[in-house]
Structure 1
Amino acid sequence: MKLTKIDNNFSASPQISVEDLLDIKAAGFRSVICNRPDSEDGGAHPDHNLLESAAKEAGLKFAYLPVVPGQINDAQVAGFKLAIDKLPGPILGYCRLGIRSKVLYERAR
């Protein structure tokens, strides 16, 4: 899994799988934020509910804040800021390529 470390509290990643969650936990992350809508690409990627359930089993906190590519608005940034302020860090944010998660984090700071 390719991670882009933004700072000591946040990294961004492309789409993750259930199998990645133990590695995410082992890497020291305490929370995961999904920024990819379940319906994106016809839902060919794992549903956030499946990943949330597996994350909780692995001892990770999980938040679902879906964002459509190229359509990030102020309300979504505010919601993201609330999530990163509330969730224990370090946090891994993911979407299809990791770009939306990175942009949301940068705008929330």
Structure 2
Amino acid sequence: MEFTILADKLAVAPQVKPEDLRELAASGFVGIINNRPDGEAPDQPSSLELEAEAKRVGLAYWHVPVEPGAMSDKEVREFSAALGEAGGPVVAFCRTGNRSTALWKASQAVS
């Protein structure tokens, strides 16, 4: 699975699938942050499905959905809180990785 490292404890990726989670856990990540709203695309796994598989393979899970082009201060705070709670490296994802990257940049600006 492809991801881009943005910081010591954060990588971003396009859509993560349940079958990717074991590999992420084996790579040393401690959790994932899902930045996609459910139902954004017909082939997208649901948040519940991803959360269940994340827990099964020992990853923490946060769902901070962001509508494309509509990021709010609340979502930035939630994203920042998830990074703080993680205690280790996480992968944040959305459809392409752009929203997750924007959330991280915004969270750095207010930290």
> What is the TM-score of this pair, normalised by structure 1?
0.94
> Alpha-carbon deviation of 1:10?
0.1
5+ residue gaps, structure 1: none
Deviations 1:19-69 (A, max 9, x none): 10011011110010000001212x420001001000001000000010001
Aligned to 1:28: 28
The residue type equivalent to 2:23 in the other structure is D
- Determine helix, strand or coil for the equivalent of 1:6: strand
- Determine helix, strand or coil for the equivalent of 2:18: coil
Residues in 2 aligned to 1:99 and 1:89: alpha-carbon distance in whole angstroms: 22
- 1:56-67 aligned within 5 A: 56-67=55-66
> Alpha-carbon deviation of 1:88?
2.4
User: Contact between 1:31 and 1:88, CA under 8 Å: does it hold in 2?
Assistant: no
RMSD: 0.9
Aligned to 2:12: 12
The residue type equivalent to 2:67 in the other structure is V
Spell out structure 1 runs of 4+ moving beyond 4 A. none
Residues in 1 aligned to 2:16 and 2:86: alpha-carbon distance in whole angstroms: 19
- 1:47-86 aligned within 5 A: 47-86=46-85
User: Contact between 1:34 and 1:65, CA under 8 Å: does it hold in 2?
Assistant: yes
- 1:89-100 aligned within 5 A: 89-100=88-99
The residue type equivalent to 2:6 in the other structure is I
5+ residue gaps, structure 2: none
User: How many residue pairs end up in the alignment?
Assistant: 108
- Determine helix, strand or coil for the equivalent of 2:49: helix
Aligned to 1:40: 40
* Percent identity for Structure 1 against Structure 2: 36
> What is the TM-score of this pair, normalised by structure 2?
0.93
Residues in 1 aligned to 2:30 and 2:102: alpha-carbon distance in whole angstroms: 20
- Determine helix, strand or coil for the equivalent of 1:63: strand
